[in-house]
Structure 1
Amino acid sequence: MIVDTAAGVLGGVLLLRFWMQLIRVRPPASVGQFTYTLSDWLVLPLRRVVPGMRGYDWASLIGAFLVVLAASSVLLLMGASGQAVVLYALYRFLTWIVYGFMGLLIIEVIFSWINPHAPLAPFVHALNEPLLRPLRRVIPPLGGLDITVLVAFILLQIALYILRQIF
């Protein structure tokens, strides 16, 4: 449980770092310092081997997968095959991504209800905008109420169901 929790936090930070750099969002100082301090020990050495290309920070993404692979390798101790461990790690990696997007959507909803002018609200909104923009083109506001966050959340739930069925 401790290994899984530590891997989840580190993997989430690495995925956040990848997403921030992919969509070119500058984090607030506190979030940036936390993210870079926690992940530089893994990302900087990986960048020597896997440089970034076309705006993608591949080292962060590969680092997140390596973290989930290391956490999943506990199954090797229980007698699982190497192929099963890699498939399980891929499944967990993809579910981490989906749950990360779901968490960002929940945080945005909480900000919109409690304090839309909170210091972190624009940052969270910018992280969610690439997910919500295509939906906002298709789904108009209903009576002044934007339901695209709900639709995105439902689509992410469907993605989780499909991942469970595939793996």
Structure 2
Amino acid sequence: MLTILQLIVDTAASVVGGVLLLRFWMQVIRVRPPASVAQFTFTLTDWLVRPLRRVLPGVGGYDWASLIGAFLVVLLASCVLLLAGASGQTVLLVALFRFLNWIIYGFMGLLIIEVIFSWINPHAPLAPFVHALNDPLLRPLRRLIPPVGGLDLSVLVALILLQIVKYLLGQAFFF
């Protein structure tokens, strides 16, 4: 029964936290989401972001309430998943590790979605939005890695680099 609760909590936290991170990233790169994405994002996250904005106003042009909200969600989920028996420091480290993993997996997911769009329908309504979300990651790689036979390998390189970061992160947290 406990694992079912953990599954539900982890899934709900991952969805809400992922959308909060998406909201933060959209604001960082100044991309305007399509109406359906915007409505979904704001409807799912306003309950947390609006109250946090009273305490954490945007500084430097960034929506810190969304980012901190995502961390609070992962922290709360980590408390529930670890339940009793874990020290506060352990819960905080696990939450930080999971938070950074969410960020890495979010970028990986966006890259995979862009690849799927490029294969299936590059003119899909969401394709320019996903491309804009990935552009800050891929632009530096595209300067270094020219297309090979007309194929853009920068997405593959980005995915490999994200896997390396994820591996190093796991090594740093759990020697």
Structure 1 length normalisation: TM-score? 0.98
Partner residue in 2 for 1:144 = 150
The one-letter amino acid paired with 1:130 is P
Partner residue in 2 for 1:56 = 62
CA distance in 2, matches of 1:50, 1:78: 30
Q: Deviations over 1:58-96 (max 9, x none)?
A: 000000000000000025523010000000000000000
Q: Aligned ranges for residues 3-82 of structure 1 at < 5 Å?
A: 3-75=9-81, 77-82=83-88
1:162 aligns with 2:164: no
CA distance in 2, matches of 1:4, 1:80: 17
For structure 2, which runs of at least 5 residues remain unmatched after alignment?
1-6
Structure 2 length normalisation: TM-score? 0.94
1:125 aligns with 2:138: no
Tell me how many residue pairs correspond in the alignment.
167
Native 8 Å contact 1:13 1:35 kept in 2: yes
CA distance in 2, matches of 1:151, 1:119: 26
| Distance change (3 Å), C-alpha of 1:140 and 1:85 | same
Native 8 Å contact 1:17 1:35 kept in 2: yes
CA distance in 1, matches of 2:122, 2:83: 48
Partner residue in 1 for 2:4 = none
